[in-house]
Chains A and B, each alone.
Chain A
Amino acid sequence: MAYKYLGKSYVRPDAINKVTGKAVFLDDIRLPGMLHAAILRPKYAHARIVSIDTSEAEKCPGVVKVVTGKGCTYRYGDNIRDLVPMAIDKVRHIGEPVAAVIADTPRHAYAALDKIKVEYDPLPVYIDARQAMSEDAVLIHEELGEYWHLPTLNPQPGTNIANVYHLKKGRGEEGFEEADVIIEGEFNYPFGSCAALEPHGSIVWFKEDRTIEIWSSSICPFIIRDDIAHSYGVPVSDVRVHIPDIGGCFGYKSDITVEQTVAWIASFVPGRPVKWVASRKEDITSTLLAHGIRTVMKIGAKRDGKLVALKTTVYHSGGAYSDTAVNVTIAATHNSTGPYEFEHCDLTGYTVYTNTPPVGAFRGYGHPEPQFATERMMDILARKLNMDPFELRAKNYLREGSTNSLGERMWKSNGDMQACAERVQQIVFGKPKEKREDDQFYYGRGFAALMKSPKGAPFSTKGCYMKMNIDGSVSVNMGGAEVGQGLRTVVRQIAAEALKIPPEKVRCYNEIDTQFSPYEWQTIGSMFTMQGGRAIVRAAEKLIQGLKKTAAQVLRTDEDYLEYDGEYVYLRSDPSIRVPVTQLARGYITDNGITIGDLAQSVADARLPRYSNPDQNGQGNLGVTYTFGAQAAEIRIEKKTGKIYVDHFASVFDVGQVINPLQIRGTVLGGVLMGLGAALYEEVKFDEEGRILNPHYFQYHIPTYKEAPQQTIEFIETPDPIGAFGARGIGEHPVIGVPPAILNAIYDAIGVDFYEIPVTPEKIKQALEARMEKEIA
C-alpha cells in the first residue's frame, strides 16, 4: 500500500543533539547537592558474610556515609521476589553489592572502599546449571519456598531450580513413535554481555516531602516506579522516574537491575540525591548477563523429511537471582521449534540458580539460544536423510493453517517464512560456489531460518498522549524508551501518517517522566513499532473524532458527514463548507468569544490482543505475533590461523511494512554484527571460584569496524493485522540466525560440526588437526 510518510527515510529527530554532544545521558545529569556512591563487591562468589567493619572507611576524606545491607527487610522482583538491594548475610555472586560508600566525589567514594573490612565464610560455587542441579548441591536460596512469585511460575523449594516450565503438544514424547529417523544433539550458548557503550547508572533522591525521585538508564521506568514504591511503602504516585537518553540497551537495561541498590544506598542520606554509574567492569560483573543456555534437543522425522516430534530440554544457568531469567527460559523453551511445525512436542525449561551475576534479557530474548540448536539440527538432519536442507526446511515451515508449539494457529497475515528463505537462497546460493579452498582459505556458505514472538505479559500495554496545538502541529508523548533504535522517528512518521500532517509538524517527547508520560510496561520484545504504533493510530483516531465533534457544532451538521484532511474538517458533500483545524485545537472560539468543544487531545493505548497465561499444557496465546526471517553467511577460514572471516551476510525478514528504510537497515546491520560477535568472539568467562576473567572491552571482544561483513538486507511486506499500518517487530530478530548460519557455513567449509559458540580460531585449528589425524589414520 502507498503511504505518504511511511517507507521513507527521515533523519532521526535526536540526531542533531547526539552529534553536537548535547544529548543528556544519565552520567551527564548534575543535581544540586548531589553525592556519589561507590559499591564494594565480594571476594567470593558464594559465601556467608561473617562480619563487616566500616569504621575505617567512615573516617576517609569526603565520606558522608558507609552503607551495608544490614537491616534490609524486603525482597523485590517482578516475577519471583528473590532479589535484595545489598547482600545481607550471604553473597551469591561475584558482582553482588556488599557495602557502599557515599561521598562528595566519586574519587573519594572509591578511595574509601578499600578500607571496608569484610570477613567471609566461603561456600561451594556453581557456574553451570547442571552443577547446581546435582543432588548434593548446596542451596543458593534456602528460602525459595517463601518467595512471592507469579502464579504461573513453578519454583522447586529445596533445590536450586527457580522454575520449571513444561509444554506438551500432541502426544508429547510419545510422538517419536511415529518417526523414522531420530537425531539428538546438545548445544551451548554461553554467557554474554549486552555490553552497550553506555554503562548502567542511576540517581536516587529521597526527598523530605516523602517523595522519591529517580533517574536511570533503564527501559522500564514504570516497573522501577511501582517496585520502589512497594519496597518503601509510599504511594506509587509519590515515586517519579525520569529516563534520559540511553546509550544502548540490547536487553540488560530492562527489568529492575541497579535501581533498587542505588535506592537502598540513597535512603541513608535523605534529602540528598545520590548518583552511581557503573565502571565497565561493573557493567559486566554487576548488572545482567545474557544467555547461559544449554539446549538438549531431539528431533524425529519421517523418511520424506516431514518433522514429527521435538523434545527439548533447556538448562538455563539463571544466575544468583532468577527474577530476570525465568521468562527468558520460558521463551527459549516454547520457541525451540524455530519456524517449524512439529505435531508432537515435549519441551522443558529449567531456570537454575547459579553463582553468576543474574542472567536476563539479551536481544532475541530466548530465541537465539534454542534456535541455534534447531538450525544446526536441520542441516544435520538433512544430511542424515540425504535431503537438500532447503527442501527439508520448506516442507516444515510454519505457514497458513499450521499450529506452533503453543497451539497458536498461523495465518497468512503472520508473514511468509518461505518467501524469506527463497530470497536468501537466491542471494547467497543462487550460483555455484566459486571454490571450496585455495592455498590460504577454506570457503563455506551456511543458512538459517528463524522466527520470533515478543514474549509479552498480561499488562504489557503501551500508551500514547497526543495534543494538537493552535498552529496544527502535534505533540506526542509516549512511555517508550529510546535506546538508539530510533523509535522517536517511527513515532513521528506513524503519527504523521495517521494525522495526515507532515512529520515536521509532529514533535515527539524526549525524556520519559512517569509523572507526565503515559504508562508503558517496558520497551522490550521488539514491540514498540507495532504496539506503540497501534496506540498512536488509536490516539490519532480519537483526536480526529474530537475535532469532528467540535466542527459539527461549528458547521451545524452531524459528525459522520464530516471529513478530516490534516488541515480542515469539511463537509463531505460540499468541501467548501469547512473549518481549519487551527481554529479547533483549543475548542472553537465563536465571534462573540463564547468557546465550544473540547481541547484537541487524546489518550490511547494498545496491547497484544488476547495475550494469555499458559494453560496446564504450557500452551496458550503467549506469542500472538511473529516475525519470520532467513539469513545466510559466506565465510572464509584461514588455514594457517583458523581465523574466520565473514565476507558477506544476507538477511531477509517479513516485517509487514517498512516504516523507515534507513533505520530498519541500521537495525539489521547492527543486529547481524551482534550475532557475529556471539558466533565468533563473545563469552563472559568464569574461573572455578566464580570470578569473571574478562570484564573489560579489551578482554570481552565485541566486533570492530574492520570485522563488519558486507551485508545484503531485504524485506518482504505481508501486512500484519495488529501492528500500525501492517508493521511487525524487527529489533531483535537480526541476531537470531547469525550463529547457526555461520556454524552451518563452517561445516560447509571444513566438514566439522560445532555445537557451541564462540567458534574461536583455536577451536578451528584443533578441529582441523583432528581431521588431519583422522585422514592419516
Chain B
Amino acid sequence: MTEKISFTINGEYRSVEIDEEMMVIDVIRDILDLTGTKRGCDNATCGTCVIVMNGKAIKSCNTPAIKMQGADILTIEGLAQGMELHPIQKAIAESGAVQCGFCTPGIVMELHALLESKPDASETELSNALNKHLCRCTGYEPIRDGALIAQQLVRERMSEKA
C-alpha cells in the first residue's frame, strides 16, 4: 500500500509516495537522499537519527512516515545558510565534540530543538537532552563544552536580532 504525503523539509516543499510501514528515516535517507541523518541502532536507543519536526526533536527511526504529512521538518542539511554554519554547528565543530562524527548530526539537531525554543535552558535540561545520545568516542565532556558554547552563541545571536 502506498500513500502520497507532502511536507516542508529544510525550507523546501516536497511530495513523496511512501509505503505504510516506512519510518521517517526511510523517507529522509532513501527517498530524499538526505544521508546526514544516521542509522545507529535497531530500536530508538542511540539518538543518531534525531531530526527536528515541527520544532521538536524526534527519533526518525521509530516515527511513522505518515506523520510527516503537513509537517515542517529540519535535518542536519538544513542548518547552514550557504557557507555560514549555524552557531550550534560551529560550536560543536570547534569544541572537540567531533571525533568519528557519526553521532554528531543527531546531537546537533537535539541541541537545535532545545536551544532555538529555549535559549536559557538550564544545565539540567541540556544534560537531559544530551543523555538521549550515545557517543563512543569523546567521553562526552567536549560535547558538553560544545553545547555550552552553542548556547552562548545562540543567545548572542538572539540579542543581536532583538
Chain A positions near chain B (C-beta within 8 angstroms): 9, 11-12, 14-25, 27-28, 30, 107, 194-199, 245-250, 277, 279-281, 483-486, 662-663, 665-666, 668-674, 696-698, 702, 704-706, 708, 711
Residue in B85, B89, B96 whose CB lies within 8 Å of A665: B96
Q: CB within 8 A of B101: which of A11, A247, A280, A672? A: A247
CA–CA, A217 and B94, complex, Å: 25
Asked if B62 lies at the interface with its beta carbon under 8 angstroms from chain A, I say: no
The total of interchain contacts (Cβ-Cβ below 8 angstroms) comes to 168
- A484–B105 Cα distance when bound, in Å, is 15
CB within 8 Å for A672 and B139 given contacts A484-B99, A486-B99: yes
Tell me the complex Cα distance, A197–B50, Å: 14
Write out the residue numbers on chain B whose beta carbons fall within 8 Å of the beta carbon of A663. 96
- List 9 additional contacts besides A19-B89, A484-B101, A673-B139; criterion CB under 8 Å: A15-B101, A16-B89, A18-B93, A20-B36, A22-B36, A196-B136, A248-B99, A666-B142, A698-B43
Q: Is A19 a contact of B100 with CB atoms below 8 Å?
A: no
Chain A residues with Cβ below 8 Å from B130 are 705
Query: Chain B residues with Cβ under 8 A from A21's Cβ?
Result: 34-37, 75-77, 105
A15 touches B35 (CB 8 A): no
Contacts of A25 in B (CB 8 A): 35, 38, 102
Q: Chain B's nearest CB lies how many Å from the CB of A21?
A: 2
Closest to B76 in A: A21
Produce 1/0 per residue, B26-66, CB < 8 A to A: 00000001111111111101101000000000000000000
Task: Kindly state whether residue B127 has any CB partner on chain A within 8 Å.
Answer: yes
Residues on B lying within 8 angstroms of A by beta carbon are 19, 21, 33-43, 45-46, 48, 75-77, 79-80, 85, 89-90, 92-94, 96, 98-105, 108, 127, 130-131, 133-144
CB atoms of B45 and A23 under 8 A apart: no
In whole angstroms, what is the CA distance A12 to B142 when docked? 14
Task: From the candidates A18, A250, A673, name the one contacting B98 in the complex (CB within 8 A).
Answer: A18
Q: Give complex CA distance A22, B101 in Å.
A: 10
| The residue from B36, B45, B131 contacting A697, defined by CB atoms under 8 A apart | B45
A666–B137 CB distance below 8 A: yes
The answer to whether residues A199 and B40 also contact, given A15-B94, A21-B75 and a CB cut-off of 8 A, is yes
B40: chain A residues at CB < 8 Å are: 197-199, 247, 280
The reply to whether A666 and B38 contact each other, CB–CB distance below 8 Å, is no
* Chain B contacts for A249, CB-based, 8 A: 100
Q: Report, nearest first, the 6 A-B pairs whose CB atoms are least far apart.
A: A21-B36, A484-B100, A247-B102, A669-B139, A18-B101, A21-B76
**CB–CB B92/A19 < 8 A:** yes
Question: If A198-B102, A706-B131 touch, does A670 touch B138 (CB 8 Å cutoff)?
Answer: yes
- Once the chains bind, are A197 and B46 in contact (CB under 8 Å)? yes
| Residues in A whose Cβ lies below 8 Å from that of B33 | 30
Q: Tell which of B36, B90, B138 touches A669, judged by Cβ atoms closer than 8 Å.
A: B138
Residue of B nearest to A12 (CB): B98
- A250 x B99 contact (CB < 8 A): no
Contact B139 A670, beta carbon cutoff 8 Å: yes
Chain A residues with CB under 8 A of B90 = 19
A181 to B117, CA, bound (A): 66
Whether A696 touches B89, Cβ cut-off 8 Å, given contacts A197-B103, A485-B99, is: no
Which of B40, B43, B99, B100 has the largest count of A CB atoms less than 10 A from its CB?
Answer: B100
In the assembled complex, which residues on chain A have CB atoms less than 8 Å from the CB atom of B19?
107
What distance in Å separates the Cβ of A200 from its nearest Cβ neighbour in chain B? 12
* Chain A contacts for B104, CB-based, 8 A: 18-19
Out of B21, B96, B133, B140, name the residue touching A673 (CB < 8 Å).
B140
Contact B141 A711 (CB under 8 A): yes
Query: Bound state CA distance, A130 and B100, in angstroms?
Result: 37
Closest to A27 in B: B39
Q: In the complex, which residues of chain B have a beta carbon less than 8 angstroms from the beta carbon of A195?
A: 136
Asked whether, in the complex, the Cβ of A696 is within 8 Å of the Cβ of B139, the reply is no
Complex: A410 Cα to B104 Cα, angstroms: 42
| Pairs across A and B, CB under 8 Å, 29 listed | A15-B98, A19-B89, A19-B92, A19-B101, A19-B108, A20-B76, A20-B89, A21-B36, A27-B38, A196-B100, A197-B40, A199-B40, A248-B99, A248-B102, A249-B100, A280-B41, A280-B43, A484-B102, A662-B142, A666-B96, A669-B138, A669-B139, A670-B138, A670-B139, A671-B139, A696-B42, A696-B43, A708-B139, A708-B140
CB distance from B152 to the nearest CB of A (A): 17
CA distance A669 to B141 in the complex (A): 7
CB-CB < 8 A to A704: which residues of B?
Answer: 131, 134, 140
Smallest Cβ distance from B48 to chain A, in angstroms?
Answer: 6
A53 CA to B93 CA, complexed, in Å: 52
How far apart are the CA atoms of A428 and B142 in the complex, in Å?
Answer: 23
Residues in B whose Cβ lies below 8 Å from that of A199? 39-40
How long is the Cα–Cα vector from A52 to B90 in the complex, in angstroms? 54
Residue of B nearest to A28 (CB): B35
